[in-house]
Each structure stands twice: as structure tokens, then as C-alpha cells.
């Protein structure tokens, strides 16, 4: 962005205020959490001697605007492009950076599907205000995204290319998970009745009737609430689905005590604390910092071995359903996966394996890893669209 001309000393204040507003807008577009308080503080800094020293101003703004590691990693690039003109880009909208060369963050995987629209053949970049020509051909771009958004429940997630439709799918996945969570916990509370008289609650309830125990309140052994332990495959072969699955898992874990989440590729990472963050963008950033190497290969058997050895005793009880979201492509030995699945099956109540490939025409679980795992799976179901995720609720309600 080119510098604004300063025609007179009287224009300096207005110009700097306008330029700061544009800078704050750029930070927000890039995922920074910038509010009115930070903007007012930044404006005050422009009236101090710090303004005359660009290096000091950058340090001050970095401390003011950066609240996460990902913000610190990207701030210098955005600041230099905006204020000094170095490394200028037409738009700065990055949402995460790789911790190592060749690796991706979760946030990048969430946005990867939206970026694929840039490579669709025949797309021509239009200037603002241009209209599509009436050619009789099937419209593309945002018009296609609008039609897709109307039937997101039935469309395979890998076929959603429009960024707006993809973001809508992410939101719907999280909303679906939250509604499922509420209904499942309500069912648990409704079952908490028993044959024994709860004398304390009966007496307390009778106060409203002058001490007359008109209504007897019973109690019994409390059924332990269903616990979900989710193992999410974040390998390269799952890139098309990782974004929606991550938002679905975030919706389940948000303020839900009886759920744990693990992410695996070539290793296993416990990500429950990150996904417990209410803000989805912040949760993705936190999980990306924890799970380096996302988007590479996968060793499901070794990941399950780590889970059984270090985590299973702590997170699994008699009413635990282990949910694995994976396509079943394992670069390890199938025998290892079969042994670890058998060990896991002896610990938990049910094992559900959601495989997006089941929704593909002609798919059969012919890989060695899938063949080794199938004998130990209670439910082998598709997960290629939002409707298939919603169909999971009746099964969980019966556990």
C-alpha cells in the first residue's frame, strides 16, 4: 500500500488516524483479535516520540496487538508491508504459519479447501462490479457456492470449493455437535431415577406444602454419563475433511466434561485443552501449536499403542465410546493396528469408526489396516457429509 501524501502540517493528524484505521482493519482480516481498546492505545502511541522511530513503533505495536504466538510470527511481515512497503502483498490474510518447513498448522488445513477454488480451470478473476455474462453455461465461483450452501448436509465435504460455503459447513458441523451434546446429556439426566426414597429432598420439597410430603422423590444409583473419546486422523490423506471434523470435535468438547480429544498422524497428541477454548479460531491456533507435523503420513497402530499405554486408563470408564475419524490408511504394520484395537476394545463400551471413504461410490475396506481393525469395531459408518455425522446421534443415545 502506497504512503498517503501529506499536503500540510494540518493534515498529519487526520492522515495518521485514517492510516491506523486501515492497519487495524488489515490485522483483523489476518485473524488478529483487535478491539476498540487496542485501537485507542495505538492512537495514543502516535502522539508520543515513539512515532518518530519506526523500530520502536513496531515493537510497541507488536506488544499491543499480539496475544498469541501465531500473531507474533506474522506481525513483522504485516507491519513492514503496510508501513514501510517491504514485501507488499495485495491482501494479507494468513491465519497460521508452519512450525517447520513442509508442515501445516490445523488452521491452514481448515482453510485449505477454500484456497482450492483458485486452481479451478476456467475461472477468471473479475474486477469489483463486473457481472457474469449470460452464456448459458453452468455458473461457477460464488454462484455455485450459493447453490451448494442450500444442500450442505448431503454434499461430500471434499466437493465444497467455495470459501463461503466451506465456512458455512464448518459452522454447521460445530452447531450440530453442540445440539447433539445437549440432547445426549439431557437423556442422561432424565434417567436418574430409582426405587429408593430420597428423604432429604422429599422434606425440602414439602416445605412449599406446609411440611406435608405430598410428592415423594426417589433416587437410585446414578448412571454414569456417556463419555466420548475422539481420535482424529490429521494425516495428508484426510486434508479434505480435517477442517469440518475439527469444528465438529470442537463443538462436542466446548464446555463438555465427559469428552476427550486426541489428534494423530505419525504421533499422538492430546488436544482437549486446546479445543475447550470457546473461540473456534483461537482453539485451532492453540491446537496447531501442539500438533506439529499435521498433514504428513499416519501410523494408526503406533498412535493407538501410545493411547493405550499412556492415556486409556485415565480417560476411559465403563460408559466410554471411542470414536475414530480416519480413512484407515496406515503406513505401519496391520498386525500392530489389530493388536492395539483388540486391547482398546477390552477397555471401552463401544468403538465407532467414522470413515469418509464409505460415502464414495465403489469403496471397500480392502486395506490391510482396515481389515485388521474391522473385527473390533462396533459401528463402521460414513462421515463424508454433515448428514452422516448427524446420523450418529441415535446410536450414541442408546449407549
CA angle, residues 263, 269, 75, in degrees to nearest 5: 90
Give the Å distances, CA to CA, from 221 to 192, 196, 218, 243.
8, 9, 11, 40
- Residue pair 262/270 in contact by the 8 Å Cβ criterion: yes
Q: What is the pLDDT of residue 133?
A: 40
Look at residue 390 and tell me whether its pLDDT is greater than 80.
yes
More confident residue, 14 or 276: 276
Give the Å distances, CA to CA, from 373 to 231, 328, 340, 351.
14, 9, 9, 10
More confident residue, 237 or 17: 237
Q: What is the pLDDT of residue 355?
A: 96
More confident residue, 20 or 198: 20
Lowest-confidence pick of 45-59, 293-307, 330-344: 45-59
- Residue 36's pLDDT band (boundaries 50, 70, 90)? confident
Question: Average pLDDT for residues 376-382, to the nearest whole number?
Answer: 95
- Residue 121's pLDDT band (boundaries 50, 70, 90)? very low
Mean pLDDT of the chain, nearest integer: 75
- Residue 347's pLDDT band (boundaries 50, 70, 90)? very high
Protein fold of 175-182+224-397 = Rossmann fold (3.40.50)
Question: Average pLDDT for residues 95-112, to the nearest whole number?
Answer: 45
Q: What is the pLDDT of residue 110?
A: 52
- What's the grid cell of residue 262? 486426541
Dihedral sign of CA atoms 168, 258, 281, 381 in order: negative
Question: Backbone phi, then psi, for 197, in 5-degree steps?
Answer: -80, 130
Cα(76)–Cα(61) distance, integer angstroms: 10
Lowest-confidence pick of 82-96, 233-247, 258-272, 378-392: 82-96
pLDDT over 90, % of the chain: 25
More confident residue, 297 or 370: 370
- What's the grid cell of residue 273? 485443552
Lowest-confidence pick of 117-131, 176-190, 259-273, 371-385: 117-131
Closest to 319 measured CA to CA, from 187, 191, 229, 220:
229
Look at residue 357 and tell me whether its pLDDT is greater than 90.
yes
- Strand 259-264 and strand 268-270: pairing? antiparallel
Q: What is the pLDDT of residue 323?
A: 96
Amino acid at each position: 500500500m502506497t504512503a498517503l501524501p501529506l499536503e500540510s502540517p494540518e493534515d498529519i493528524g487526520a492522515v495518521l488516524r485514517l492510516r491506523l484505521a486501515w492497519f487495524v482493519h488489515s490485522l483483523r482480516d489476518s485473524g488478529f483479535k483487535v478491539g476498540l481498546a487496542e485501537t485507542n492505545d495505538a492512537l495514543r502511541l502516535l502522539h508520543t516520540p515513539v512515532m518518530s522511530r519506526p523500530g520502536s513503533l513496531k515493537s510497541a505495536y507488536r506488544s499491543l496487538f499480539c496475544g498469541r504466538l501465531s500473531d507474533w510470527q506474522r506481525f513483522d511481515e504485516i507491519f513492514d508491508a503496510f508501513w514501510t512497503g517491504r514485501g507488499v502483498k495485495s491482501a494479507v490474510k494468513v491465519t497460521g504459519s508452519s512450525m517447520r518447513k513442509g508442515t501445516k498448522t490445523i488452521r491452514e488445513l481448515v482453510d485449505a479447501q477454500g484456497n482450492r477454488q483458485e486452481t479451478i480451470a476456467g475461472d477468471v478473476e473479475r474486477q469489483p462490479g463486473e457481472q457474469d455474462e449470460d452464456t448459458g453455461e453452468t455458473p461457477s465461483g460464488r454462484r455455485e457456492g450459493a447453490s451448494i450452501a442450500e444442500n450442505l448436509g448431503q454434499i461430500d465435504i471434499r466437493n465444497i470449493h467455495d470459501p463461503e460455503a466451506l465456512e458455512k459447513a464448518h459452522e454447521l458441523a460445530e452447531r450440530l455437535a453442540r445440539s447433539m451434546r445437549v440432547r445426549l446429556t439431557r437423556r442422561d439426566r432424565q434417567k436418574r431415577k430409582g426405587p429408593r426414597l430420597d428423604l432429604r429432598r422429599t422434606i425440602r420439597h414439602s416445605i412449599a406444602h406446609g411440611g406435608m410430603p405430598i410428592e415423594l422423590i426417589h433416587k437410585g444409583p446414578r448412571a454414569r454419563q456417556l463419555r466420548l473419546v475422539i481420535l482424529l486422523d490429521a494425516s495428508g490423506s484426510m486434508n479434505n475433511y480435517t477442517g469440518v471434523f475439527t469444528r465438529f470435535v470442537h463443538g462436542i468438547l466446548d464446555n463438555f466434561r465427559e469428552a476427550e480429544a486426541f489428534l494423530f498422524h505419525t504421533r499422538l497428541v492430546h488436544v482437549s485443552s486446546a479445543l475447550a477454548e470457546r473461540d473456534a479460531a483461537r482453539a485451532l491456533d492453540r491446537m496447531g501449536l501442539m500438533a506439529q507435523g499435521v498433514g504428513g503420513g499416519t501410523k494408526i497402530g503406533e498412535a493407538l499403542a501410545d493411547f493405550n499405554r499412556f492415556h486409556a486408563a485415565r480417560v476411559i470408564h465403563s460408559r466410554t465410546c471411542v470414536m475414530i475419524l480416519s480413512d484407515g490408511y496406515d503406513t505401519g504394520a496391520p498386525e500392530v493396528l489389530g493388536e492395539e484395537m483388540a486391547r482398546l476394545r477390552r477397555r471401552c463400551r463401544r468403538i465407532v469408526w467414522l470413515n469418509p471413504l464409505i460415502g464414495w461410490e465403489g469403496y471397500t475396506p480392502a486395506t490391510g489396516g482396515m481389515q485388521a481393525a474391522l473385527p473390533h469395531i462396533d459401528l463402521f459408518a460414513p462421515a463424508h457429509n454433515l448428514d452422516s455425522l448427524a446420523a450418529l446421534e441415535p446410536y450414541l443415545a442408546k449407549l
